[in-house]
């Protein structure tokens, strides 16, 4: 189960930011080895304050483990021919890392493995970075031949995921006055991307929109909705409209009821608990939005655990190594690890990483 991860304690914030700003696949910086630590150091106090405000750390590991166990239990029931199933967590910027998962898998005698992204919509900055790091970690650990891999690289339209999202939206709408529910604005909010990433052909915006269109078919086409993007940093252009500008605009238009729907996160973490609930909550209040709520994250939802199991079961039944889209490289991509798979279980030839070429820096002036 591949995901970003998050610091579990306040002392873990600095190393988390150091790793985040060192990753040129998510954040290409000029002079990264120098500028990355500099920005991480500067941002640490502010980010620590945010984690302190949500109880002192990220709950993402807790929820991922709960979801993983629920998924494995469901899989044993709905796919007995591939049982027993085990889950391993590989976070990108906080423990457990990819090497922790790989070592444990080797110790447990695993031979067949599915690299399962926990980002429903694909981006080279998230799923791409996690997969690339998984392959690099396998090489570092001398485990590149240890497992036969297939990859679940995206699932933006999986029926179980859409069902879980619709359930969360309906639960969120319940907290609005019954007579105003039908006019409540659904504000689908996803993490933003720098426009340089979008322009090179990243699949993420199209997949976010696909998820939203599909879930609106379940929720009801009469419900008004908007799509916006949160969490941009620095002066470079980012994919918009931004969530904060959209909230201001809705306030100006006299919208009094807004339900924010985090469409790209599978459990609570800093972007839901602090950015949406606290920062955007205060902004909404200031611009006159009377009822500003957030649809609950999937966290311990049994519907979502079953959805994860169904995603994996369908993948195993399909015999696919990865989606057809995973083979498509972005325009101008020179990253040797992108779209490679070590020891694929089925079909695809093994793709050997090529020599690395430094990508053009796109975050000049960040922070
Ligand atoms: Fe998209 Fe390499 S950055 S394939």
180 near 224, Cβ under 8 Å? no
For residue range 313-337, list pLDDT tens digits in order. 999 999 999 999 998 899 989 888 8
User: Which two three-digit tokens encode residue 304?
Assistant: 């979502």
User: Which two three-digit tokens encode residue 40?
Assistant: 């991480």
Could you tell me which residues are beta bridge partners of residue 80? none
pLDDT of 366 above 90: no
3-state secondary structure 150-185: EEECCCCCCHHHHHHHHHHHHHHHCCCCHHHHHHCE
With a 6 Å cutoff on the Cβ, whether 333 touches ligand 1 is: yes
Cα-based angle 150, 156, 161 (whole degrees, multiple of 5): 95
Please give the Cα distance from 200 to 196 (Å, whole number): 6
- For residues 214-219, average pLDDT: 97
With a 6 Å cutoff on the Cβ, whether 199 touches ligand 1 is: no
Average pLDDT over the chain reads 91
pLDDT score at 347:
57
In the reported structure, the alpha carbon of residue 150 is separated from the centroid of ligand 1 by a whole-number distance in angstroms of 19
Minimum-distance ligand 1 atom for the alpha carbon of 333: 2
With a 6 Å cutoff on the Cβ, whether 160 touches ligand 1 is: no
The CATH T-level fold of domain 159-294 is Rossmann fold (3.40.50)
- For residues 145-155, average pLDDT: 96
pLDDT of 285 above 70: yes
The gap from C-alpha 156 to its chain's centroid, in whole angstroms, comes to 11
pLDDT of 234 above 60: yes
With a 6 Å cutoff on the Cβ, whether 128 touches ligand 1 is: yes
Residue 179, Cβ density class (10 Å: 0-12 exposed, 13-18 middle, ≥19 buried) = exposed
Please give the Cα distance from 57 to 210 (Å, whole number): 32
DSSP state of 327: G
pLDDT of 86 above 60: yes
23 near 124, Cβ under 8 Å? no
C-alpha torsion sign, points 96, 197, 203, 223: positive
In the reported structure, the alpha carbon of residue 358 is separated from the centroid of ligand 1 by a whole-number distance in angstroms of 13
Residue nearest to atom 4 of ligand 1 (CA): 329
Q: Where are the beta strands (DSSP E) in 197-316?
A: 225-230, 257-262, 291-294
User: Which two three-digit tokens encode residue 24?
Assistant: 């040129």
Task: Read off the pTM.
Answer: 0.92
184 near 256, Cβ under 8 Å? no
- Measured from the Cβ of residue 6, the count of other Cβ atoms closer than 10 Å reads 23
Minimum-distance ligand 1 atom for the alpha carbon of 124: 1
With a 6 Å cutoff on the Cβ, whether 336 touches ligand 1 is: no
With a 6 Å cutoff on the Cβ, whether 7 touches ligand 1 is: no
pLDDT of 20 above 50: yes
In the reported structure, the alpha carbon of residue 55 is separated from the centroid of ligand 1 by a whole-number distance in angstroms of 36
Boundaries of every domain in the chain? 159-294
For residue range 156-181, list pLDDT tens digits in order. 999 999 999 999 999 999 999 999 99
């Amino acid at each position: 189960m591949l995901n970003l991860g998050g610091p579990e304690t306040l002392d873990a914030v600095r190393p988390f930011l150091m790793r985040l700003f060192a990753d040129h696949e998510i954040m290409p910086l000029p002079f990264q080895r120098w500028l990355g630590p500099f920005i991480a150091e500067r941002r640490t106090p502010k980010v620590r304050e945010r984690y302190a405000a949500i109880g002192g750390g990220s709950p993402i590991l807790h929820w991922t483990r709960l979801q993983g166990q629920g998924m494995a239990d469901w899989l044993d029931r709905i796919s007995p021919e591939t049982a027993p199933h085990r889950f391993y967590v590989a976070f990108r910027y906080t423990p457990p890392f990819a090497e922790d998962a790989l070592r444990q898998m080797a110790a447990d005698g695993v031979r067949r493995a599915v690299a399962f992204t926990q980002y429903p919509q694909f981006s080279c900055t998230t799923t791409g970075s996690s997969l690339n790091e998984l392959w690099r970690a396998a090489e570092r650990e001398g485990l590149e031949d240890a497992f036969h891999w297939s990859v679940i690289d995206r699932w933006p339209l999986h029926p179980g995921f859409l069902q879980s999202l619709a359930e969360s939206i309906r639960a969120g709408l319940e907290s609005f006055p019954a007579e105003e529910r039908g006019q409540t604005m659904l504000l689908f909010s996803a993490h933003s991307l720098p426009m340089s990433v979008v322009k090179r052909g990243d699949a993420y915006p199209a997949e976010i929109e696909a998820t939203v269109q599909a879930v609106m078919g379940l929720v009801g086409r009469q419900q008004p909705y908007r799509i916006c993007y949160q969490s941009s940093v620095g002066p470079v252009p980012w994919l918009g409209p931004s969530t904060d500008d959209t909230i201001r605009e809705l306030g100006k238009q006299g919208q009094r009821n807004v339900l924010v729907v985090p469409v790209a996160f599978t459990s609570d973490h800093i972007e839901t608990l602090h950015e949406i609930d606290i920062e955007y909550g205060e902004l909404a209040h200031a611009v006159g939005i009377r009822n500003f709520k957030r649809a609950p994250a999937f966290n311990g939802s049994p519907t979502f655990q079953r959805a994860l199991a169904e995603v994996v079961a369908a993948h195993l039944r399909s015999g696919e190594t990865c989606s057809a889209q995973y083979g498509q490289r972005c325009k101008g991509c020179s990253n040797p690890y992108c779209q490679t798979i070590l020891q694929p279980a089925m079909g695809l030839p093994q793709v050997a990483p090529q020599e690395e070429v430094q990508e053009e820096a796109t975050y000049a002036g960040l922070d």
